[in-house]
Amino acid sequence: MASSLNKYNNLALEASAGTGKTFQLAMRVAGMLLTGAAPKDILCLTFTRKATAEMKERIIKFINGFAEGTSDTSEYEFIAPLMKKYAEKLQRPFDDNFIKEKAVTARDNLFSHFSELNIKTIDAFNNTILRIFPFEAGFRPDFGVHCDEETAQIKRTAFYQLVSEMLADNKWKQILDNIYPVLGVQTVSLISTLQKYAEYVADNILKLESAVKNAPSLDNIIEMLSKAVTMQQKIPELCQKFKKTFENDNLSVRQANAVEKLDYKKIQDISDIPFFKNTLDEAPNFKKYEFSQKQYNLHENIFNKLQEYWLLYGDIITSLSLNLGKLLNNKMDILKKEKNMLTYSDISNAVYYMLAADNSKIDKDYLYFRLDGRINHLLIDEFQDTSISQWLTLKPLAEEAMAGLGQHDKVGSFFYVGDPKQNIYRFRGGSSSLFRLLLQEYKDKLSSKTLDTNYRSGKNIIDIVNKISNEIYKQYGENFAIFNIDQKAYKENGDGYVEITHKMDKQDKEEDAYYLTYCLDKINICIENGFQYKDIAILTVSNNHGKDIIDYLENNNIPVQAETSANLTSSPVFNIIMALAEFIETDDDYAFFRFLYTSPKAAHNNIMQDKGLFINEKNKIKNMLNNIEGLSIFDKLLYLSNKLDLQSRFSSSPDYYVCFDIISKTAANETNIADFKETVFKSASSEQALSAAQKNAVTVMTIHKSKGLQFNVVILPNLSRDITVNAKNSPLFIADNNVFGDSKLCCVYSKKQYPYISGTKAEEYMKNENMLTLQDSVNMLYVAMTRAEKALFINAEMPKDMPLKISHIAGLCFPEKVQQGILKAEINKEKEQVKSINIEININKQKELIDTKAFYSRKEDITFNYLSALAGECLHAGLFMLEYGREETISIAEKCMYAKYGSALDDKTFADIKKYILTVYNNTQWQQLFNGRVFKERRIGKDNNLYSVDIYSEMEDKLVIMDYKTGALNDKILDEYKKQLFTYKEILKKLYNKKTECCIFHIEKGIFTF
């Protein structure tokens, strides 16, 4: 793989799908570390937390590979030119030993300062800045971060407060009384319509800063509404005058029907009369009719009035939206300040105002000086999804890096990588135009490079992608120049298989939709040709389509998993556990229904259809609960999870353990369901789901969620998404002019209204937005197709006229059925092993989350086990704080333990824990650990498994691993502990390449070394 490390430190790398973007980025960071950069000098910004985790993992893998001499050819060829120059700089001979020596040093330095390696999302980086400078931005330093559900609730609360105030305000009451006929909505829909307008502006308040500031006043809006109401009376009167001009004519039936439509009273209906959608001479059925001059004059007058009306209509909607959005944003700010809570959008906006806004009163030079003291190398991943505000915040750091010297005379660099063809997050502010704008602005400092060899997909798949891309370029011109591509397939990828068919839903409504049967058919064909279910991904344009597909496949006994979000709160495991908790406390039927039927389901559909069976299932669980009355919700969940064998239901998903870990830490003693749900949801909203692709099941996800992933087989069954802006979906849009904060809010006009904005600025804005929406759609198709490695299935649709949906694009490029290549899975000779991620959670320090069924024979045992586990958690928290040679850490540990656990543990238990702490501190063998570099509670991984090591020490000639244990101990238990320690040993020995000793420190029995 070609290297992006060349004579230029500053590089813009355009990397098409599958060309090794992540490899290039991770290797560039590894190269910096190998050539002496400190972890704290580097800031690498990614788009998702998943990408962050993958980046860190790859960097460690690369550096460790160079240190151990196990790097592959592509890695060596990438790094060798850089290391050769580095050797010349140091006046050292260049060979493999030089690379290994520097890699060992870099690895040790990285492990010692791993927390200083700034690889994070842009949101996390902004959060870090605000934590450093909270007072400068006007916030308290202990602010919290809202999850999506909390933000939605804040919006709802703020809007209803706003409506109450509007109804008490005379001007707003006057506006509300006159707005119904103008908007053309029913009374019951008015509030929800206004809420959409207000939320759209509030969500884009930064982009629309100038428009909000200069929005027309309420008096102006009242005046505009009055004018619109007058025109609603005047235009029908003019139509009557126009109708009278035909009274004495001998009209055909069709002509007479057309004239009768001039009786319409509503402007929306009048605008759809064919007379006014065309010039008078082009009116349908009147081609041979000789119009009088009076008729021409009246027609022109009516058309002009309609145009005036619809432009006024747009001004009213945008003016109203800007005023509502401003007020809603202010209300939300008040509510958030009361709770000292912010959203990620708030944080991003605050950092922008603090560091990038022209009107900021803060000493930005000082703040950037503080930041630049930590950052010398700036790298940005997925740059096509970076928003203008994000870039403006980062711009001074990038310019300082490109200047050649950062703080402390360290050489800096700026690197960004991405693919404008994969910009599918414009609705979040992503601006693909930035990619090339920076090359123009910094042409003397930035070089560019393009990667065009695809290492992911088979040749036939690449050929189809190239053909569709080039056809789009030919069809739509220079606006789509990025699709004038000739991507090459890596020869070892094989040929691959592509199938494009043209059939959409034409069956009776009682039958299953065709795209559902299409999915089932293609899955069965793939299974027959050697693929496994887990090889297959079905990508959709919406979550609703995905849900329909999941339900249909489950009913046809196809194992399926949903991947709609990486957040734990969206995982099935979390939602099933929370539904069970709600049912336990409220006996709510809907909660029990969610517990049974959230996938993976716990019951067949016949239970849902038979109320008697449903009640029987409820009573089974209620009878179980009779034995454990009075316990916390957490204790009840533990009890039922074992009785109901939830681990098997979730196929031992790691999310199961993470959920119980979170509950044990945040709501272990909670008995109020409302407080329980709020506390647990808030904690879980910051966690990532870990269970992706852990079982042999078909994956169903949206195209947006699939970005960055790859699958052996990709099925695209229903690409029915509009490729032009649609007023039903989005009543407003923002016309960008590349001057941040000075964007214009625009109204979306429907097809009926379109003739009346012809030749105006409104038409210009609409045309541009339609083009951008088309680009979004084409980008989505490109992303979807390029997820496929071995096989790609597309259900296309032939357009009758111009393409209106994504499926039309594929149909336009391939009007005939396509079938290229051979559909056949590669045979894996290794027997497949299902591997699960094992996460040790504090509640389970005794190596089991819950004991066997006998453990639950008495409710006292549950409480005892929980308190025992809590005592273990308390002990580990104290041990984590101990530092040999610093006796004050003993008292610090005691205070912290008591503050967190003192109210839950009795005096005797707490006294025993304090005694254990002293036992450990005074142990000579434990003290010797501090002769080396000590690492505590470190997560290590192997083969998709994660482990937590209590403490280990890296000494000059060896590693010593120690694990703390309490409770019963016999030969059998000791052997299990040894197996666990040997796993740790295997992982760490490979990383450090040193002799490794293992110790079990049993608090009561002493130390066992082996």
pLDDT 10s digits, 77-109? 889 999 999 999 899 999 999 999 999 999 888
Secondary structure class of 29 (helix, strand, coil)? helix
**Which of the 8 DSSP states describes residue 716?**
E
Residue 478 DSSP one-character state: G
Give the list of residues 6+ apart from residue 775 with CB closer than 8 angstroms, or none.
423, 479, 480
- Specify the range with the lowest mean pLDDT, choosing from 174-178, 370-374, 868-872: 370-374
By residue count, the chain amounts to: 1010
Residue 852 — very low, low, confident or very high, per pLDDT cuts 50/70/90?
Answer: very low
Q: Give the pLDDT of residue 461.
A: 94
Task: Identify the residue with better confidence: 191 or 33.
Answer: 33
302, two tokens: 């009516």
> pLDDT per residue over 897-918, tens digit each?
776 666 567 778 888 888 889 9
Q: Which band of pLDDT confidence, cut at 50, 70 and 90, is reported for residue 431? A: confident
In whole angstroms, what is the distance from residue 887 CA to residue 930 CA?
14
Q: Is 795 helix (H, G, I), strand (E, B) or coil?
A: strand
pLDDT at position 729 is 67
The per-residue pLDDT for range 758-771, each reduced to its tens digit, is 999 999 999 888 88
Instruction: Provide the 3-class DSSP secondary structure of residue 216.
Output: coil
HSE-CB for 331 with a 13 A CA cutoff: 24
Q: What pLDDT, on a 0 to 100 scale, did the predictor assign at position 644?
A: 82
Burial readout 174-206 (b: 16 or more C-beta within 10 A, e: otherwise)? bbbebbeebbeeeeeeeeebbbebbbbbbbbbb
- What is the average per-residue pLDDT within 460-474? 89
Average pLDDT (156-181) is 90
Provide the pLDDT for residue 507: 44
Q: What mean pLDDT comes out for the span 56-85?
A: 88
Confidence of residue 941 (pLDDT cuts 50, 70, 90): low
What is the secondary structure of 543-570 as a DSSP string? Answer: HHHHHHHHHHHHHTT--EEE-S-SBGGG
> pLDDT tens digits for 948-964?
788 988 888 888 999 98
Given this model, what pLDDT does residue 932 score?
Answer: 86
Find the range with the poorest average confidence among 329-338, 520-529, 560-569, 915-924.
Answer: 560-569
Task: pLDDT band for 338, please (50, 70, 90 cuts).
Answer: confident
Q: Give the pLDDT confidence score for residue 788 in this predicted structure.
A: 95
Q: Kindly state the average pLDDT of the residues 931-942.
A: 73
Gap between the Cα atoms of 739 and 215, Å rounded = 18
Listed residue (214, 187, 204, 27) closest to 106, CA to CA: 27
User: What is the C-alpha separation between 517 and 513, in angstroms, rounded?
Assistant: 7
Angle at 157 between CA 155 and CA 161, to 5 degrees: 115
More confident position, 730 or 6: 730
* Rg of the chain taking only CA atoms, in angstroms: 33
For 630-670, the pLDDT digits (tens) are 778 888 888 888 778 787 777 656 677 778 877 877 787 78
Q: Which of 37, 87, 40 is nearest to 63 (CA)?
A: 37
How far CA 610 is from CA of 143, 587, 616, 620, 644, in Å, comes to 49, 18, 10, 16, 22
Residues 834, 696 contacting (CB under 8 angstroms): yes
Q: Is the peptide bond before 600 cis (omega within 30 degrees of 0)?
A: yes
Per-residue model confidence (pLDDT) at position 336? 87
End-to-end Cα distance, the chain: 44
Determine how many CB atoms are found less than 10 A away from the CB of residue 11.
20
Structure tokens belonging to residue 981: 């320690």
Asked if residues 206 and 389 have their Cβ atoms less than 8 Å apart, the reply is yes
Residue 848 pLDDT > 70 = no
Q: What is the pTM of this model?
A: 0.71
**What contacts 339, CB < 8 A, 6 or more positions away?**
144
Q: What is the pLDDT of residues 403-419, one digit of tens each?
A: 764 444 457 899 999 99
pLDDT at 832 over 60: no
Written as one letter, the residue type at 557 is N
Which whole number is the average pLDDT over 187-210?
A: 87
In terms of DSSP bridges, do strands 818-820 and 497-502 run parallel, antiparallel, or are they unpaired?
antiparallel
Q: How confident is the model at residue 945 (pLDDT cuts 50, 70, 90)?
A: low
Give the helix/strand (H/E) hosting 1001: strand 995-1002
Rounded average pLDDT over 16-39: 91
Rounded average pLDDT over 139-148: 74
| Host H or E run for residue 983 | helix 971-992
Q: Write the pLDDT tens digit of every residue in 594-610.
A: 788 777 777 555 544 55
Tokens of 861: 């045992």
How far is Cα 757 from Cα 633, in angstroms, rounded to an integer?
61
- 8-22, 337-351, 784-798, range with greatest mean pLDDT: 784-798
d(CA 137, CA 364): 11
Residue 653: the pLDDT is 67
- Report yes or no: 322 and 212 within 8 Å, Cβ to Cβ: yes
Is 50 exceeded by the pLDDT of residue 854?
Answer: no
Q: Mean pLDDT, the chain, as a whole number? A: 81
pLDDT digits (tens, 9 = 90+) for 269-308: 999 998 898 888 888 888 888 999 999 999 999 999 999 9
| pLDDT over threshold 60, residue 821 | yes
Whole-number percent of the chain with pLDDT over 90:
29
Give the pair of three-digit tokens for residue 726. Answer: 């649609």
Say which residue, 369 or 102, is predicted with more confidence: 102
